[in-house]
Amino acid sequence: MAYLGAAYLWVKAAHVIFVIFLMAGLFMMPRFFVYHQESAPGSDEDRKWIAREKRLLKIILNPSLVLTWIFGLMLMVELGAWSFGWFHLKLLFVLGLSAYHGWIAGYTKKLARGQRTLTDKQLRLFNEVPGIAAAVIVIAVIVKPF
């Protein structure tokens, strides 16, 4: 433990906690989208879904993403993880999840404008992205295959 010292385990715990929050939001939002698309644009139900999605994004997803990155970068420096092959795989998938978060934020805005550009089936398929990414990340970090 180079610079974190006794705080290392607290930083690691915080990283895992905010990853859990982030993943929960990434799983929830596409399901929200499926239900939201069933409502008529401009209806009372539409406005309720817009408010729900905005709260999920602003209260859970955005802060969790930022804190996951902060604590993750602290751990990366502490461990010198950049020199490990498994870390590069993890980083690739974390970047992908960050891009997925960006897509979610963008689609939230589209729905708020009344645009429904994806089908329910497509949204259900997009819902699988965080699970697949999480599986690869966990295997990379725990198994360290290379």
pLDDT digits (tens, 9 = 90+) for 114-134: 999 999 999 999 999 999 999
DSSP code of 137? Answer: H
CA distance 124 to 27: 10
pLDDT-derived band at 41 (thresholds 50, 70, 90) equals very high
Annotated binding site for heme: 15, 90
pTM value is 0.94
| Residue the block writes with tokens 């690691």 | 12
Annotated binding site: 15, 90
* pLDDT value at residue 1: 52
Q: Is the predicted pLDDT of residue 97 greater than 80, yes or no? A: yes
* pLDDT value at residue 52: 98
Helix axes 62-79, 85-112, angle to 10 degrees: 170
| Average predicted confidence (pLDDT) for the chain | 96
Which residues fall within 8 angstroms of residue 135, CB to CB, at 6 or more apart?
Answer: none
Domain with 44, as residue range(s), is 5-143
Supply 43's token pair.
């209806």
How many structural domains are present in the chain?
Answer: 1
pLDDT digits (tens, 9 = 90+) for 48-81: 999 999 999 999 999 999 999 999 999 999 999 9
* pLDDT value at residue 95: 98
* pLDDT value at residue 2: 80
